[in-house]
Amino acid sequence: MPRLALVTGGTRGIGAGIARALKEAGYRVVVNYFSADAVARDFEAASGIPVFKWDVSDFDACKAGIEDVRRQHGAVEILINNAGTVSDNKFENMDEAQWHRVLRVNLDSLFHMCQQVYPDMMANKWGRIVNIGSMNGQAGQLNQVNYVAAKSGMHGFTKALALEGAKHGITVNTVAPGYVDTYLMRNMPERILAKIIGKSPIHRLGTEAEIGHAVTFLVDEKSAWTTGSTITMNGGTHMY
């Protein structure tokens, strides 16, 4: 039977691209989402990929959600921690709620989710965990102290868990995208979009499918030697 992959925040944007790429590659795939029921229903109907609703920032909700997935589909063998959120503000105006929400959804969620699937992966002596970081977590970004701190923390989490997981056949890696052509970018003012694209020698945004392709490489049986790594994908922006 094909391995089971779970993509958090997989009903739209980059997560949906990853879920589709994994399905195309022959994996069994399920996705999680948080609030947009209609988007989730449309995604499920169009892709045939089952959706599960819970908040990755809530440890108990992750526990219950994974038990539900396990009952219906079996143990999760491939976990893609993609769900994320932003709440931008100048540092002097950033309040405690903005700080904690972004840290909980983007970073605490890794602990919440990995804790649920790691025991099964250890027992099976095989597992793949891929965390979706961000170019901003590598380079820093104005008005995003919370988001950058969370995404930078993800790199430490990836490396530390990769060290522990190695003897159990579990790899842990990060993909750090630059700006990807999701619906959010489609609403961005032309002037800002032109500035972002101008920073890439390839002169375009990334695609959801390109991120999905990188994740598919990392979870492959033949990628067992790649762990604790970050794949940086930003159209070459990082070279400037």
Ligand X SMILES: NC(=O)c1ccc[n+]([C@@H]2O[C@H](COP(=O)([O-])OP(=O)(O)OC[C@H]3O[C@@H](n4cnc5c(N)ncnc54)[C@H](OP(=O)(O)O)[C@@H]3O)[C@@H](O)[C@H]2O)c1
The residues annotated with a catalytic role in the active site are 147
Cα 155-127-23 angle, rounded to 5 deg: 95
| Residue closer to ligand X (CB basis): 92 or 190 | 190
The answer to whether 179 contacts ligand X (rule: CB under 6 A) is yes
**How many residues sit in the footprint of ligand X (CB under 6 A)?**
28
Contact 208, 235 (CB under 8 A): no
* Residues between 87 and 146 that touch ligand X (CB under 6 A): 105, 132, 134
Count of residues making up the chain: 240
| Residue closer to ligand X (CB basis): 11 or 158 | 11
Largest CA distance in the chain: 53
Min CB(50)–ligand X separation in Å = 14
The answer to whether 49 contacts ligand X (rule: CB under 6 A) is no
| Residue closer to ligand X (CB basis): 207 or 226 | 207
Q: Could you tell me the CA-to-CA distances from 78 to 130, 189, 195 in Å, in that order? A: 8, 37, 36
C-alpha–C-alpha distance, residues 13 and 164, integer Å? 31
The answer to whether 33 contacts ligand X (rule: CB under 6 A) is yes
C-alpha–C-alpha distance, residues 31 and 11, integer Å? 7
Candidates 19-27, 51-59, 115-123, 192-200: pick the segment binding ligand X (CB under 6 A). 51-59
